[in-house]
Amino acid sequence: MNLGRYRRVIAAPKVGWVLLVTLGDRLPKYMAVLALTLHCVQNLHRGYGAAGTLIAVVTLGDIVAAPVVGRFVDRWGVRPTVVVGGLGQTAFFLSVPFLDYNWLLVVGFIRAFAPVPTNRLARQALSTLVPKADLRTALAMDSIGMEVAMMIGPALAVLTATRASSSLLFFAVAGALFVSAAGWFWINPSLQASEDSASASERSWRDWLNPHLLVVLFCSIAVGLVLSGTDVGIVASTRELDQLDWAGVVITLWCAASLLGGFAYGAVRKPPGLAQLVFLLSLSTLLAGCLSAVVPQWWMVALALVPAGLFCAPSLTAATEQANEAVRESARGQAISLQNAALSTGIVLGSPLAGFATDQGGQAAWGFGVVAVGGILAAVVTSVARSASRTEDLAKRQHRDPETLEEQTRTTA
- pLDDT of res. 400: 58
Highest mean pLDDT among 151-155, 157-161, 222-226, 326-330: 222-226
- pLDDT of res. 109: 92
As a whole number of angstroms, the distance between CA 242 and CA 172 comes to 33
Q: pLDDT band for position 196 (50/70/90)?
A: very low
- Nearest alpha-carbon partner for 346 in 281, 302, 289, 251: 281
Q: pLDDT band for position 98 (50/70/90)?
A: very high
SS3 127: helix
- Which region, left, alpha or beta, applies to residue 45 given φ > 0 means left and ψ of -120 to 50 means alpha? left
Give 280-292 pLDDT, tens digit per residue: 999 999 999 999 8
Please provide the DSSP assignment of 31-51 as one string: HHHHHHHHIIIIIS---HHHH
Contacts of 312 (CB under 8 A, 6+ apart): 147, 227, 254, 255, 257, 258, 261, 262, 281
- Nearest alpha-carbon partner for 371 in 250, 272, 289: 289
Contacts of 369 (CB under 8 A, 6+ apart): 286, 289, 290, 357
- pLDDT of res. 397: 60
- pLDDT of res. 204: 52
Q: What is the DSSP letter of 191?
A: -
Give 395-409 pLDDT, tens digit per residue: 666 665 555 545 555
As a whole number of angstroms, the distance between CA 335 and CA 328 comes to 10
Domains and CATH numbers, the chain: 1-191 (1.20.1250.20), 202-405 (1.20.1250.20)
Give 71-95 pLDDT, tens digit per residue: 788 788 889 999 999 999 999 999 9
Highest mean pLDDT among 116-125, 154-163, 223-232, 306-315: 306-315
Alpha helices in 130-273 (DSSP H): 135-163, 166-187, 211-240, 247-267
381 by Cβ neighbours in 10 Å (0-12 / 13-18 / 19+) ranks as middle
Give 298-345 pLDDT, tens digit per residue: 899 999 999 999 999 899 888 888 887 777 766 677 777 788 888 888
As a whole number of angstroms, the distance between CA 192 and CA 128 comes to 7
Q: What is the pTM of this model?
A: 0.75
- pLDDT of res. 91: 94
3-state helix, strand, coil in the chain (%, to 5): 85, 0, 15
Rounded to an integer, the average pLDDT of 36-52 is 76
CB distance 97 to 278 below 8 Å: no
Cα-flanking dihedrals φ and ψ of residue 199, to 5°?
-75, 145
Percent of the chain surpassing pLDDT 90: 25
Which secondary-structure segment (H or E) carries 305?
helix 298-310
- Nearest alpha-carbon partner for 338 in 112, 28, 120, 86: 120
